[in-house]
Amino acid sequence: PRLFALVPAAGIGERAGAAGPKQYVDIGGLPMLAHTLAALAAVPRIAQTLVVLSPADDRFEAALPGCTAWVARVGGASRAESVLGGLAELRRRGATDDDWVLVHDAARCLLRPEWVDALIDACEHDDVGGLLAQPVADTLKAGDADSRVSATVDRRDKWAAQTPQMFRLGRVERALQAMGAAATDEASAVEALGLRPRLVRASMENFKVTWPEDFTLANRLLAARR
């Protein structure tokens, strides 16, 4: 089986509050999406990467000139729909049920190739597949509508899910179709089939740029790596 990467980049970045979609915000001189794709391009076992854009995207060509990834304007109203559009595009380009797909958020631009390698090593001989994740360090609170604590949640077995998430194309497609637009990651859909994806520890640096202050953090981390 071959290994493909699929990068959903069709969101609007509402919570980040930038002037445009966050995947095009400049981080250290390059759009966030360029950093994300560079990390995946540095993983030789990935045969090809497909970027999923919104049909309305008019920024990609100017922002990422000379990009060698495949591009498809098949994004949908939710992340899950964008991923399903990308999986269908991979099939059109020759991918089959047994091929592996690494789904990775465009917004996780601090990805390191070695974390991807660790995920592939852990999953390529696994029946189910898995995801990068980080054990939760903070004490977890459930809160009510008035922002008052309703419960303290035992954190000891809790992990924060990240991406990439690595599953076989046929299975992850069936799983997402069954769960619909509500799935916020691939693993939750695969879990709903009664399967138990493998958790592979990465780093807190693999966070998802979500809020305005996250751009500052991403800039500092990238500057420190240079």
Contact residues for Mg ion (CB under 5 A)? Answer: 11
Nearer to Mg ion by Cβ, of 31 and 169: the residue is 31
Nearer to ligand CTP by Cβ, of 12 and 38: the residue is 12
CB of 108 closer than 8 Å to CB of 185: no
Instruction: Choose the one of Mg ion, ligand CTP, none that binds residue 52, judging by a C-beta under 5 to 8 angstroms depending on kind.
Output: ligand CTP
In the complex, what is the shortest distance from the CB of residue 103 to ligand CTP, in angstroms, rounded to a whole number? 9
- Residues 128 and 193: their CA atoms lie apart, in Å, by 11
Instruction: Choose the one of ligand CTP, Mg ion, none that binds residue 210, judging by a C-beta under 5 to 8 angstroms depending on kind.
Output: ligand CTP
CB atoms within 10 A of CB 223: 10
Instruction: Choose the one of ligand CTP, Mg ion, none that binds residue 31, judging by a C-beta under 5 to 8 angstroms depending on kind.
Output: none
Residues within the interface to ligand CTP (CB under 6 A): 8-16, 22-23, 52, 75-79, 82, 105-107, 208, 210
CB of 75 closer than 8 Å to CB of 96: no
- Residues 66 and 89: their CA atoms lie apart, in Å, by 21
Nearer to Mg ion by Cβ, of 201 and 208: the residue is 208
- Residues 188 and 47: their CA atoms lie apart, in Å, by 25
In the complex, what is the shortest distance from the CB of residue 10 to ligand CTP, in angstroms, rounded to a whole number? 3
Strand partners, 135: 159
Q: Tell me the one-letter amino acid at 97.
A: D
Nearer to ligand CTP by Cβ, of 90 and 154: the residue is 90
In the complex, what is the shortest distance from the CB of residue 86 to ligand CTP, in angstroms, rounded to a whole number? 8
Nearer to ligand CTP by Cβ, of 73 and 201: the residue is 73
CB of 101 closer than 8 Å to CB of 210: no
Strand partners, 103: 6, 165
In the complex, what is the shortest distance from the CB of residue 81 to ligand CTP, in angstroms, rounded to a whole number? 6
CB of 83 closer than 8 Å to CB of 8: yes
User: 106 is written with which tokens?
Assistant: 């465009």
- Residues 199 and 17: their CA atoms lie apart, in Å, by 31
Nearer to Mg ion by Cβ, of 3 and 107: the residue is 107
Instruction: Choose the one of Mg ion, ligand CTP, none that binds residue 164, judging by a C-beta under 5 to 8 angstroms depending on kind.
Output: none
Instruction: Choose the one of Mg ion, ligand CTP, none that binds residue 34, judging by a C-beta under 5 to 8 angstroms depending on kind.
Output: none
